[in-house]
Structure 1
Amino acid sequence: MAENKEPDEPEDMDQAEDQEPDEPEDAGQAELVDLSRFYASALKPLHGYFQSQNAWISKMIADSPALRMRPVLPRIVVDSSLIRMTAFTENLGRQMADLTGFNDMVRKALEPLAATYRPPQWHSVFASLGDVIDRLYPENLREVRPDLDDLEELLVEEGIPLMWVPRPQTVRALLDAPDAAARRRIIGRRWTGIVNDCEAVLEEVTHPDVQDARDFALDVVHALRAGHTSAAQALAANLLDSLLQRHFDKDFRIELTKNDFKTTGVKFKFEDHKFKVACTFAPVWYAHAKYHAKNGDPIPRTFGRHPSAHGVSRTQYSRINTVYALMLVTSVIKFFDTELP
Structure 2
Amino acid sequence: MAESKEPGESEDQAEDQEPDESEDAGQTESVDLSRFYTSALKPFYDSMRIQNAWINKMLADSAAMRMGPVLPRIVVDSPLIRMTAYTDNIRRQMADLTGFNDMVRKALEPLAAAYRPPQWHSVFASLDDVINRLYPENLRDVTPDLDDLEELLVEEGIPLMWVPGPQTARALLDAPDAAARRRILGRRWKGIVNDCEAVLEEVTHLDVQDARGFALDVVRALRAGHTSAAQALAANLLDSLLQRHFDHAARVQLTKNDFKTTGVKFKFEDYKFKVACTFAPVWYAHARYFPKNGDPIPRTFGRHPSAHGVSRTQYSRINAVYALMLVTSVVKFFDTELP
TM-score, length basis structure 1? 0.72
CA, structure 1 residues 249+33, in 2 after alignment: closer, same or farther (shift >3 Å)? farther
Give the fraction of aligned pairs with identical amino acids, expressed as a percent. 74
Letter in 1 for 2:191: G
Q: Which residue is 1:88 aligned to?
A: none
Q: Secondary structure at the match of 1:133?
A: helix
Q: Which residue is 2:98 aligned to?
A: 94
Please tell me whether the aligned partners of residues 133 and 142 of structure 1 are also in contact (alpha carbons under 8 angstroms): yes
Please tell me whether the aligned partners of residues 107 and 124 of structure 2 are also in contact (alpha carbons under 8 angstroms): no
Aligned-pair CA distance for 1:271? 1.0
CA, structure 1 residues 223+108, in 2 after alignment: closer, same or farther (shift >3 Å)? closer
Q: Which residue is 2:146 aligned to?
A: 148
Aligned runs of 1:1-341 on 2, under 5 Å? 25=63, 28-31=66-69, 82=93, 94-96=98-100, 99=101, 109-119=109-119, 123-124=121-122, 126-341=124-339
Please tell me whether the aligned partners of residues 234 and 308 of structure 1 are also in contact (alpha carbons under 8 angstroms): yes
CA distance in 2, matches of 1:224, 1:260: 31
CA, structure 1 residues 139+27, in 2 after alignment: closer, same or farther (shift >3 Å)? farther
Long gaps (5+) in structure 2: 1-61
TM-score, length basis structure 2? 0.72
RMSD of equivalent CA atoms: 3.1
Q: Secondary structure at the match of 1:186?
A: helix
Letter in 2 for 1:287: A
In the TM superposition, what whole-angstrom CA distance separates every residue of 1:53-98 from its partner, at most 9, and x where no partner exists?
x7xx8xxxxxxxxxxxxxxxxxxxxxx95468xxxxxx7x6142xx
Q: Secondary structure at the match of 1:31?
A: coil
Q: Which residue is 2:49 aligned to?
A: none
Please tell me whether the aligned partners of residues 223 and 229 of structure 1 are also in contact (alpha carbons under 8 angstroms): yes
Long gaps (5+) in structure 1: 1-23, 58-79, 85-90
CA, structure 1 residues 212+83, in 2 after alignment: closer, same or farther (shift >3 Å)? closer
In the TM superposition, what whole-angstrom CA distance separates every residue of 1:236-279 from its partner, at most 9, and x where no partner exists?
00000000011111101110000000000000011110000000
CA distance in 2, matches of 1:125, 1:338: 28
CA, structure 1 residues 327+109, in 2 after alignment: closer, same or farther (shift >3 Å)? same
CA, structure 1 residues 94+112, in 2 after alignment: closer, same or farther (shift >3 Å)? closer
Q: Which residue is 1:76 aligned to?
A: none
Q: Secondary structure at the match of 1:127?
A: helix
